[in-house]
Structure 1
Amino acid sequence: MSRLGGLCPDSAGIPVGHGLCESFLENVTSPERPRPRLSASHAQSVGSDRADRTLADHSTKQALQAAPMKLYGHYISLTTLQVMALLAEKRSSAELALVDVFAGEQKLAAHLARHPFGYIPVLEDGGFTLYETHAILRYLDSRLPGPSHLPTDVHERARMDQWLCIEQNYLLPAAKKVMAREYAKMMKLADPGLALVEEGERELRVVIGEFADWIANRTYVAGDALSLADLCWLADLYKMSALPQMEAIFAGARVEAWWKPLTERTEWKRAVAELASYGPKSPSPP
């Protein structure tokens, strides 16, 4: 009896313990048992069918990838800006489908079908749907032509990943605490209290201070080229620093030497302008 026999699942329709499962596995895995040979005509037919299926699958994939990409997000969202920034760097674009987070659309069934946890952004690329910002960024960087924003050097890649983790695990949670009372007021929720905001401010100062120390004498976060870490941190700090609640925290951040050249890039300006175009329009002068 094959040692693999007990792993054959009941759901396969082959009763375990009656010899049928074990016999099947032995026929597949035993080297001393010759496998049945196909006739030349049968083999040619099978090969032709496989080639046709492969060609059809390839054509379908090409058609899906040729369709315009759609990004579900919001103009106020810093993670949406991160994706838009990478698209601009790649000289590409996606249709922005607004998800009204203020009205709670991200928690409705239509969006939950795209993102089961009810957040933005979500990317649709033909028949392929992907959520989680960093996963989307890595996918687009590999999927689209143009310079890569994923370092090839193992140490530089690890450093990029480190700062992406810091952004996700420390920077953004601290910022949410700082904005907790404003968010609760806007969404008509219970006031979480001043203590939570003050805790977030302390945490945010530590995180931004560490980043400022790291970037002080560097042009980029990881290595000698722009990476996903630069785009993520730039989008975060750009959005956060514009909020009145963050002004005091960013006053002595000491990141201007890194920040200024990046915000002057044509690609960055394009991403910011394109995202802003989906927001409220300023009233025309009389």
Structure 2
Amino acid sequence: MRLATVEYEGRPMAVVERDGGLYRLDGPGDGTLGALVAAGPEALRDAALGATEEIEAGRRLAPLRPGKIVAIGLNYLDHIREAGVRPPESPLVFAKFPSSVIGTGEAIVIDAELTGNVDWEVELGVVIGRTLRHADKDEAMAAIAGYTVANDVSARDLQFADGQWVRGKSLDTFCPLGPVLVTPDEIADPQALVLRTRVNGETVQDSSTAEMVFGVAELLSYCSRAFTLEPGDLVLTGTPWGCGAFMDPPRRLVPGDVLETEVEGIGVLVNPVVDADASPGRR
């Protein structure tokens, strides 16, 4: 199933894509996709199978607002090679704040008073559908609600200067997600998906999840031994080679750029880049 969240009559609405149309999902809670994911895989499946009301497509929103975002650094062999570092012996875990989430079509906002070095990172995002604690790999895979495209936008100057990564990774608008959440039955092998990033139409990242040091199952199992993963949580699984910070000469995003991030079988996120003065929320 391909699930999404659209704006409909002024509010978010969960939908399922089917036969070229969008069909309204009804379920527990506030009817959002996040509430359906939290209700469990059976509730999500029943809502999708029972969806018969077709609606006109509205503006796409992020599929859901994660409870927490767990991210993994240096998890692609080709990225490790370009960065000139040693592969980690265990997953490198950090966090992004959920307030950084935006959807496709929304703008990545660069505040020049905070950062002058903003980079892109296409990633496979994994949304949790069942509570995971001390899970083995099989349990971890069975708990996945779906996969989405993510962009771990990063303020490299803040990231490297702070010595830890949370602030540089969590600025508002620095976590585009979408355009859909694809259920596991449609992804035959999460370790065999092509990932790409384009900046103004130029391909800058082109790799495969086969390059992961730690695969999806191992990452979820590893994290669940340290902390509980809950329904609606998002795990970002790392980015491949092609980040601007490691190019020669280095590249960075600037206002006016258009960023496209893509994962095979899921879709393409499109996000323009603007400066903070052009953002509607700027005071």
Q: Per the shorter chain, which TM-score range? A: under 0.3
TM-score with structure 1 length normalisation?
0.20
More RCO (CA 8 Å, sep 6+): 2
Rg larger in 1 or in 2?
Answer: 1
Higher helix share: 1
